[in-house]
C-alpha cells in the first residue's frame, strides 16, 4: 500500500488494524479477533495508505447475495481526505465481484460523519434499532442502512 491507495488486508495486518480500531471506537476489537476475521473466508478487508502503517481499514462479510459492512475506521488525524470513501468503494467493488446484490450496515444515529459518508455513497435507511449502542450512561439508536448493488 502506498499513500491513499487501497489494498486487500492480510492476516499480518491484524494487530495494526486493531490499533486503528482502538483509536476510533470506545470498545476496541483485539488483535486476535482481527486475525480470526481476516482469516475467515466470508470476510473481505481493505486497508488504505502505507502497508506497514495504514491510515484506515474496512471489513465486510459476504454471504450469498447479501453482505454487511462490519466496521470502517480512519485514524483521526487523516480524516476528511477521502480515505473512508475510497475504502467503501473498494469493499463495494469486491462485493459486486462476489455476487453480492445488497449491502447492509448499522450506524449510530449520532454518528454524523459516518451517516454523511454512507448516505452520499447511496446507502438508504431501511430500519431503526432503538437504544442499540451504549453512549456513556445512556443509549443511542442504530440506523440500518442498505445499498443495492447493480
Ligand X SMILES: CC(C)(COP(=O)(O)OP(=O)(O)OC[C@H]1O[C@@H](n2cnc3c(N)ncnc32)[C@H](O)[C@@H]1OP(=O)(O)O)[C@@H](O)C(=O)NCCC(=O)NCCS
Site for ligand X in 87-126 (CB under 6 A): 107, 111-114, 116-117, 120
Q: Helix, strand or coil for residue 60?
A: strand
Return the number of the residue (35 or 114) whose C-beta is nearest ligand X. Answer: 114
Site string for ligand X, 61-90 (x = CB under 6 A): -----------xxx----xxxxxxx-----
Residue 35 CB, shortest distance to ligand X, in Å, is: 20
C-alpha cell at 81: 481526505
Return the number of the residue (38 or 105) whose C-beta is nearest ligand X. Answer: 105
Q: Helix, strand or coil for residue 80?
A: coil
C-alpha cell at 144: 440500518
Q: Is there binding between residue 9 and ligand X (CB under 6 A)?
A: no
Return the number of the residue (99 or 126) whose C-beta is nearest ligand X. Answer: 126
12's CB contacts (< 8 A; 6+ apart) are: none
Interatomic CA distance for residues 49 and 38, integer angstroms:
18
Interatomic CA distance for residues 69 and 75, integer angstroms:
18
| Contact positions vs ligand X (CB under 6 A) | 24, 72-74, 79-85, 107, 111-114, 116-117, 120
Amino acid at each position: 500500500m502506498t499513500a491513499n491507495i487501497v489494498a486487500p488486508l492480510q492476516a499480518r495486518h491484524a494487530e495494526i488494524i486493531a490499533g486503528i480500531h482502538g483509536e476510533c471506537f470506545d470498545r476496541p476489537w483485539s488483535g486476535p479477533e482481527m486475525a480470526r476475521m481476516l482469516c475467515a473466508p466470508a470476510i473481505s478487508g481493505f486497508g488504505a495508505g502505507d502497508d506497514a502503517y495504514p491510515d484506515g481499514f474496512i471489513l465486510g462479510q459476504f454471504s450469498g447475495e447479501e453482505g454487511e459492512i462490519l466496521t470502517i475506521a480512519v485514524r483521526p488525524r487523516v480524516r476528511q481526505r477521502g480515505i473512508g470513501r475510497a475504502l467503501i468503494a473498494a469493499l463495494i467493488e469486491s462485493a459486486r465481484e462476489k455476487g453480492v446484490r445488497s449491502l447492509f450496515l448499522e450506524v449510530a444515529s449520532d454518528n454524523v460523519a459516518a451517516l454523511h459518508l454512507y448516505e452520499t455513497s447511496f446507502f438508504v435507511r431501511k430500519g431503526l434499532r432503538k437504544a442499540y449502542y451504549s453512549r456513556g450512561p445512556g443509549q443511542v439508536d442504530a440506523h440500518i442502512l442498505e445499498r443495492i448493488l447493480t
